[in-house]
Amino acid sequence: MNLSNDFLTFCIKIGVGFEVLTAIAGTFYYHKYKDVPVLKYYVYILWYIVANEFIGLYLRLTSDMNTAILNNIYNLINFTYIYFLYKNHLKNNTNKKIALACCLLYWGSLIINGFFENYLLAFQRIPYIIAAVGVVTTILLYFQEVLNSEKVLHVKKNLLFWISVGLLIYYVGNIPFRILRNYYEYLTDATILILVNLILGITMYTCFIIGFICSDKR
């Protein structure tokens, strides 16, 4: 599939638009979760994502500068935050340890992969895949706890539930394409990955927005 650069740029702008809308919603409804440990910092992550995307988009449109370092730093901050978010909200000690182990495994893979790929020039694909699988595992543990507790009765009004749904959809859909791009690069087109990421990203941010609107203050 070969799409024009103008169309791809349009898709990227749509994705950034949803990120901005989500950050605005997170700020507007901040009073609902401002007292929730760790989750209260999520609005800062959302605005960081927006800033990172604008910088990356500007560099891609105005220069040939490699933006791999921006993606690598973003993944480090984003995945680390997600792991500590769930570690804080998981109740079972074993599950907490699994979330922490997934985070440490990601950090370890990132350090080791640095000996083979330059952080400044190459997107760290293997650490990304490891981190994404760990996030999916951690979210499934969270869902298991919710289903076995009274929270399931009010799950639609739980902000973390909606965030979890969005993240799960995104990473479950994104992991196969990342693996495909990593091991079968010549068989896949980057435009497909962009379109898939756009659809998954829109779905994820829509879940976030629903969570901000529908969640209770607790």
- pLDDT in the model for residue 196: 82
Closest to 207 measured CA to CA, from 172, 158, 173: 158
- pLDDT in the model for residue 170: 96
Q: Look up residue 120 and give its DSSP letter.
A: T
Number of H helices, E strands in the chain: 7, 0
- pLDDT in the model for residue 184: 57
Assess contact for 161 and 146: CB atoms under 8 A: yes
Q: For residue 126, how many other CB atoms are within 10 A of its CB?
A: 16
- pLDDT in the model for residue 186: 52
- pLDDT in the model for residue 150: 76
- pLDDT in the model for residue 66: 77
> How many C-alpha atoms does 152 have within 13 Å on its Cβ side?
9
- pLDDT in the model for residue 218: 63
- pLDDT in the model for residue 103: 96
- pLDDT in the model for residue 16: 86
Please give the backbone phi and psi of residue 188, each rounded to the nearest 5 degrees, phi first: -125, 155
Q: List pLDDT tens digits, range 72-123.
A: 999 999 999 999 999 999 999 999 999 999 999 999 999 998 888 877 777 7
- Compute the distance between CA of residue 19 and CA of residue 15 in angstroms, rounded to an integer: 6
- Compute the distance between CA of residue 183 and CA of residue 187 in angstroms, rounded to an integer: 9
pTM of the entire predicted model: 0.90
Regions in the chain scoring below 50 on pLDDT: 187
- pLDDT in the model for residue 23: 96
